[in-house]
């Protein structure tokens, strides 16, 4: 969830220069364990000690018992080391990062003075969510989801925002919605004027939706355009199979695309 956190002076100054307006949401790096700053040193020492114990135990089991038994503590030691190295509790630079959503733009503080900023009116947003599923006796249970958003600014500058920031199920839709609200009117007017707008493999205009693979499907023939399991699916009236489809990660500004398209085929 968004947290009340004062941005750095550099963020405030850049947001002011960009005329981003009011700060609406701030997201911090995700922490598996919430450790207060005054206890950070103790957390690091305890984590390193636990990893050392696992490693030592694994080596002793390897030397005096059997390598198969040794593999378990050694594996946990490796996994623990990787998790600790990626943790904001261990790397203070990661803990200082901020994802700031302003009234009129996005600003990401990557630490060490690295800032990325783009107004919603010019942002291009690609997103991908991968969900690991456990399949047990035919029953599929979602286990873990990983998300990456790539936001591009005019001129080619871009930033990757991963689920290393807490609560991606909140901030990813907020980014998509802000871009859609800022750009929808301009795109709608362009379509009404007879111009084409392109969203990855899809092209929209006043007559229909077009893909290179299938050509053009008139709007009156479109039944639905929706998203299922990471895939954008276009369905035609009277057809059981999809007319065409594309992975979500290939469609920029997905929410904007769906908003404009729904107004065209829903008329």
233-262 burial, b at 16+ Cβ within 10 Å, e below that, comes to bbbbeeeeeebbbbebbebbbbbbbbbbbe
- pLDDT for res 71: 78
- pLDDT for res 231: 95
- Burial class of residue 171 (count of CB atoms within 10 Å of its CB; 0-12, 13-18, 19+): buried
Gyration radius of the chain's alpha carbons: 24
Overall pTM surpassing 0.75 (yes/no): yes
- pLDDT for res 29: 87
- Divide the 267 residues of the chain into consecutive groups of 10 and give the mean pLDDT of each group: 70 95 92 51 62 76 77 69 56 72 96 92 95 64 80 95 92 97 96 95 96 95 93 95 96 97 86
Q: Is 96 helix (H, G, I), strand (E, B) or coil?
A: coil
Q: Is 1 helix (H, G, I), strand (E, B) or coil?
A: coil
What is the Cα–Cα distance from 42 to 205, expressed in whole angstroms?
60
Q: Which CATH number fits domain 9-29+96-181: 1.10.3470, 2.30.29, 1.10.10, 1.10.3210?
A: 2.30.29
What is the Cα–Cα distance from 209 to 250, expressed in whole angstroms?
16
Give the residue ranges of DSSP H helices in the chain. 9-17, 40-64, 67-85, 92-95, 168-192, 254-265
Strand partners, 101: 25, 106
Give the Cβ contact number of residue 96 at 10 Å: 15
């Amino acid at each position: 969830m968004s947290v009340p956190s004062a941005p750095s002076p550099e963020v405030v100054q850049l947001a002011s220069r960009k005329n981003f307006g009011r700060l609406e949401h701030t997201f911090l790096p995700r922490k598996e364990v919430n450790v207060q700053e005054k206890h950070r040193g103790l957390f690091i020492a305890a984590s390193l000690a636990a990893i050392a114990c696992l490693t030592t135990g694994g080596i002793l089991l390897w030397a005096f018992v059997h390598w198969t038994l040794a593999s378990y503590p050694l594996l946990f030691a490796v996994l623990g080391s990787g998790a600790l190295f990626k943790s904001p509790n261990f790397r203070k630079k990661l803990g200082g990062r901020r994802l700031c959503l302003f009234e009129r733009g996005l600003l990401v503080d990557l630490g060490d003075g690295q800032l990325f900023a783009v107004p919603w009116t010019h942002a291009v947003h690609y997103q991908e969510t991968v969900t690991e599923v456990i399949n047990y006796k035919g029953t599929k249970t979602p286990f873990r989801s990983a998300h990456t958003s790539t936001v591009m600014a005019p001129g080619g500058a871009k930033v990757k925002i991963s689920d290393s920031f807490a609560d991606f199920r909140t901030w990813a839709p907020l980014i998509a919605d802000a871009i859609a609200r800022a750009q929808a009117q301009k795109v709608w007017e362009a379509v009404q004027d007879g111009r084409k707008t392109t969203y990855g493999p899809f092209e929209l205009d006043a007559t229909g939706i077009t893909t290179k693979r299938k050509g053009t499907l008139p709007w009156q023939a479109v039944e639905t355009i929706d998203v299922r399991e990471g895939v954008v699916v276009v369905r035609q009236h009277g057809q059981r199979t999809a007319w065409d489809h594309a992975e979500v990660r290939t469609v920029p500004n997905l929410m904007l695309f769906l908003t404009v398209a729904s107004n065209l085929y829903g008329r």
